[in-house]
Amino acid sequence: MKNLLLLEWRKLRWPVLLSMVGLTITIAILSGTIYKSYSLEHDLEAWEVGIAIIVFLFPLISVLPVGWLMYFERKDQFLMYTLPRVKKSRYLLSKWIVVASSSFLIMFVAMFIGVITALYIKPNIVPEYGLINPDTGELMPRLESQHFMGAMFVHHPLTYGFLLSLWQGLLSAIIATLGFILSLFISNIFIILTGPFIYVIMENFIFQIQPLRNSLRIYRIYLSFSPEFYDTAKYGYWPLLIGPLLALLFTAFIALYCRKIKKITVYPS
């Protein structure tokens, strides 16, 4: 298994490394510049406002560097040459592990470097408070009481950024898994690479349609990826798991539908 994993990594290493470096530089620049147009209370907010476009595009970023490999191996019938050397299940498992872990690595490293940039590299911000104390009428900080995991965000921002970057990496791996499953059964590279993005966009749209918005908007995978002002006191933590779980269920549905109903084979027959 180790040799299989190394083999798959060699196939993807350059696209993965280049994507990771490119995304890291992009997030570092965004985290160090865009915040200047905002009134902020805390340095880590510079990272949050800087990654807004990355949050929107993360389903594409999760798939584009890794989702193409299986498509070309099926198209060129390279899979047939692997049959005498390795079992189908082991080969596909090793490929999925490398695809998912590579997507995780790209997102985690880039996001965490953005956190470090916001906290330690860019100039410190001058806090500007926007919440009025009802007792004194004076301006007061709002983040600790209104931000997601506010106490950790304010007092332990590096830990907060590290944990959220890990979570974002995991979500990226889940979306990459959807792309991988599509690449096993679909023969259109455009659908493979954009399908997960379209799924997330549609999920986000459906969950915000009235009258569903009030009850379902907290289950969106976009909110799970960037919780910011998600109210844990009101909803708890478990709704943040619903979006990723639905993505996994949708992935399983696609696999079962293509395999059992449409009878599509992964290996050329």
Q: What is the pLDDT of residue 119?
A: 96
Average pLDDT, integer, range 6-24? 94
Distances (CA, A) of 126 to 132, 160, 208, 212, 238: 18, 21, 35, 40, 35
Give the tokens for residue 131. 């919440």
For 139, the 3-state DSSP assignment is: strand
Q: How far apart are CA 45 and CA 157, in angstroms?
A: 10
Whether residue 186 is predicted with pLDDT greater than 80 in this model: the reply is yes
Q: How far apart are CA 240 and CA 108, in angstroms?
A: 18
256 within 8 A of 174, measured Cβ to Cβ: no
Q: What is the pLDDT of residue 219?
A: 92
What percent of the chain clears pLDDT 70, i.e. is strictly above it? 94
Q: Ramachandran region of residue 228, left (φ > 0), alpha (ψ -120 to 50) or beta?
A: left
Which residue's structure tokens are 């190394």? 6
Q: What is the pLDDT of residue 140?
A: 64
Q: Ramachandran region of residue 177, left (φ > 0), alpha (ψ -120 to 50) or beta?
A: alpha
Where does the pLDDT of residue 156 fall: very low under 50, low under 70, confident under 90, or very high at 90 and above? very high
- Structure confidence by residue, pLDDT tens digits, 97-120: 999 999 999 999 999 999 999 999
Average pLDDT, integer, range 153-159? 95
- Structure confidence by residue, pLDDT tens digits, 125-151: 888 777 666 666 666 677 888 889 999
Specify the amino acid at residue 93.
Answer: L
Q: How far apart are CA 48 and CA 22, in angstroms?
A: 19
Q: At what angle do helices 88-116 and 157-185 cross, to 10 degrees?
A: 150
Which residue's structure tokens are 């096993």? 184
- 88 versus 213: the higher-pLDDT residue is 88
Query: In angstroms, how far is CA 194 from the centroid of its own chain?
Result: 14
Q: How far apart are CA 162 and CA 157, in angstroms?
A: 8
Q: How far apart are CA 202 and CA 223, in angstroms?
A: 14
User: Looking at the DSSP assignment, which residues form a beta bridge with residue 132?
Assistant: 139
- Structure confidence by residue, pLDDT tens digits, 200-242: 999 999 988 866 677 788 999 999 999 998 989 889 999 999 9
